[in-house]
């Protein structure tokens, strides 16, 4: 609690005029300027009367009067005689004071000397600058994702400093379109992609290459997008060259592509002009991944799509004469298609696809003929029914095998016995090869690794649980690419189990990590579902 006593007030009406002027020029609150002035006067007072004293200044917000006083806390235990006073001594000066109050002793006015005045000015300037930076950060931190207009203030080593009126922003060289040149006083339109609060002030970063810059330009040019009737679902850009944008209409009577193109292409051309002639493909978005990929590869025609959701990849088969168009110049079309759909796209011709399928057919036929000791007719029947591995034959319900044309329960049972025998023999062979390679038995106890996978690890010089625990998921996937199609989640699970075996984590920590990963995956799936 503070106990008020009369303090010496010095009329300084000009103080308020200066504060009003600075607040108006800098766009900051008047009280912040006055607080900076109070701090400056307080600092000058401590320089005159001693830094060990608790000296405070106050400027009257109406009259501009300056009050300077020394504060001492009333306390029973004195640790600092300059800032504390006993209740007995305090009561001699003011009988109403009690423990916890402050004895406030007015001080005479300060005659600011040259050095004191300079110090006060530096404090005021510093505090005003800090307040201005805080105001700038507060104003722009919530504007990330907006398009903003500014004037080029200077260009240094290709990096452009843009005057936004109340702040400056940086447009780095790698965020400019290729061959784009700005000069001082040029007007520039860009996308705010980041605002950071740093010691030198707020740093506002702009971009003209960001995919969302193009999306926001369309939002400005197409009223249906602004109104939410048409939604931009995905954007992919090769800045300055070509871009793809996927759109969907929430009104069946409105064509999303036609609305974005505009009458005689007026809307899309306005965006193209802003992006220095960047070609833009506008395609309809589809919730069906295969259909979306076909649309994304336009103008190329697609014959067939084979989707592998687990691996996050898709095989696209095109007519032989469409290959170069589907791939695009320097792979641009397929690269943009992959960015747009979020999937790895492999393109092959119908001829290549036919040759691949024939080779797979021959490979599977040989496998079944050798492993099951059957002729090519039975092998072909198994392949025709969709069997790809000996494991599938060994573990499928026997009645399903018996349903194959030409098979009966006895044939099906015999095939399963041969498959199981082959797998047992193969497992023993691979286990021996694993041991010959020096792969530790502890690795064999890790869930998720087949005998063939352990042999592949040995050949990759991964021979102990510590070696396995030290791998990254992509390194494990690369080591096993010839024997197993392992997803990133599966690879991470194997590595985490190896780390438990190596003593890096406990089982409880592993279960917690798996639960968190499952929660993240579920949240991501929910978000994707909501977005769709």
Concatenate the DSSP letters of all residues of 402-439 into one string.
HTSTT--HHHHHHHHHHHHHHHHHHHHHHHHHHHHTT-
The closest alpha carbon to 45, from 79, 20, 8, belongs to: 8
Predicted confidence (pLDDT) per residue in 452-476, tens digit = 888 888 888 888 888 888 888 888 8
pLDDT band at 232 (very low <50, low <70, confident <90, very high): very high
Q: Is 318 helix (H, G, I), strand (E, B) or coil?
A: strand
> pTM for the full model?
0.61
Predicted confidence (pLDDT) per residue in 136-183, tens digit = 787 788 888 899 999 999 998 889 999 988 788 899 998 999 888 899
Q: For residue 163, give every residue at least 6 positions away whose Cβ sits within 8 Å of its Cβ, in sequence order, or none.
A: 150, 151, 152, 153
Stretch among 57-61, 251-255, 370-374, 516-520 having the lowest mean pLDDT: 516-520
The closest alpha carbon to 442, from 469, 461, 465, belongs to: 465
| Bridge partner list, 356 | none
Distance set, CA 12 to CA 63, 109, 115 (Å):
7, 12, 20
- pLDDT over 70 for what percent of the chain? 89
Q: For residue 42, give every residue at least 6 positions away whose Cβ sits within 8 Å of its Cβ, in sequence order, or none.
A: 55, 56, 57, 68
Gap between the Cα atoms of 158 and 153, Å rounded: 13
Q: Is 364 helix (H, G, I), strand (E, B) or coil?
A: helix
């Amino acid at each position: 609690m503070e106990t008020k006593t009369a303090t010496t007030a010095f009329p300084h009406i000009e103080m308020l005029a200066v504060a009003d002027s600075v607040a108006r020029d800098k766009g900051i609150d008047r009280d912040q300027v006055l607080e900076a002035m109070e701090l400056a006067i307080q600092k000058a007072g401590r320089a005159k009367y001693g830094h060990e004293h608790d000296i405070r200044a106050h400027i009257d917000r109406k009259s501009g009067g300056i009050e300077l006083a020394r504060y001492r806390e009333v306390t029973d235990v004195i640790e600092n005689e300059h800032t504390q006073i006993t209740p007995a001594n305090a009561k001699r000066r003011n009988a109403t004071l009690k423990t916890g109050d402050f004895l406030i002793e007015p001080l005479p006015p300060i005659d600011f000397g040259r050095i004191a005045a300079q110090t006060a000015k530096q404090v005021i300037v510093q505090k005003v600058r800090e307040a201005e930076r805080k105001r700038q950060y507060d104003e722009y931190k919530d504007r990330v994702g907006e398009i903003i207009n500014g004037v080029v203030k200077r260009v240094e080593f290709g990096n452009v400093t843009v005057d936004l009126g109340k702040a400056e922003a940086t447009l780095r060289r790698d965020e400019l379109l290729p061959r784009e040149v700005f000069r001082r006083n040029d007007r520039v339109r860009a996308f705010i992609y980041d605002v950071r609060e740093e010691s030198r002030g707020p740093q506002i970063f702009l971009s003209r290459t960001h995919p969302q810059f193009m999306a926001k330009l369309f939002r400005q040019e197409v009223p249906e997008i602004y109104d939410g009737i048409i939604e931009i679902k995905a954007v992919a850009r090769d800045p300055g060259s070509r871009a793809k944008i996927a759109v969907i209409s929430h009104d069946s009577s409105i064509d999303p592509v036609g609305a974005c193109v505009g009458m005689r292409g007026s809307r899309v051309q306005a965006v193209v002009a802003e992006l220095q002639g960047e070609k833009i493909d506008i395609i309809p978005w589809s919730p069906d991944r295969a259909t979306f990929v076909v649309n994304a590869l336009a103008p190329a025609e697609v014959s067939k799509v084979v989707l592998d959701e687990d691996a996050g990849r898709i095989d696209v088969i095109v007519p032989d004469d469409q290959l170069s168009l589907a791939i695009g110049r320097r792979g641009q079309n397929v690269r943009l298609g992959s960015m747009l759909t979020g999937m790895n796209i492999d393109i092959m011709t119908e001829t290549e696809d036919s040759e691949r399928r024939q080779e797979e057919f021959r490979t599977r036929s040989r496998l079944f003929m050798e492993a099951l000791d059957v002729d090519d007719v039975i092998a072909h029947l198994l392949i025709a029914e969709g069997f790809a591995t000996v494991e599938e034959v060994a573990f499928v319900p026997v009645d399903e095998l018996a349903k194959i044309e030409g098979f009966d329960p006895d044939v099906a049972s015999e095939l399963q016995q041969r498959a199981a025998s082959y797998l047992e023999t193969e497992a023993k062979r691979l286990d021996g090869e694993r041991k010959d390679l020096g792969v530790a038995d502890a690795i064999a106890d890790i869930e998720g690794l087949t005998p063939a996978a352990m042999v592949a690890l040995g050949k990759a010089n991964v021979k102990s649980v510590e070696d396995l625990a030290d791998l990254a998921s992509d390194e494990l996937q690369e080591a096993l690419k010839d024997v197993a199609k392992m997803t990133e989640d599966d690879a991470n699970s194997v590595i985490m189990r190896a780390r438990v075996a190596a003593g890096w984590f406990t089982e409880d920590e592993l279960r917690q990590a798996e639960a968190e990963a499952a929660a993240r995956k579920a949240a991501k799936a929910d978000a994707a579902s909501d977005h769709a």
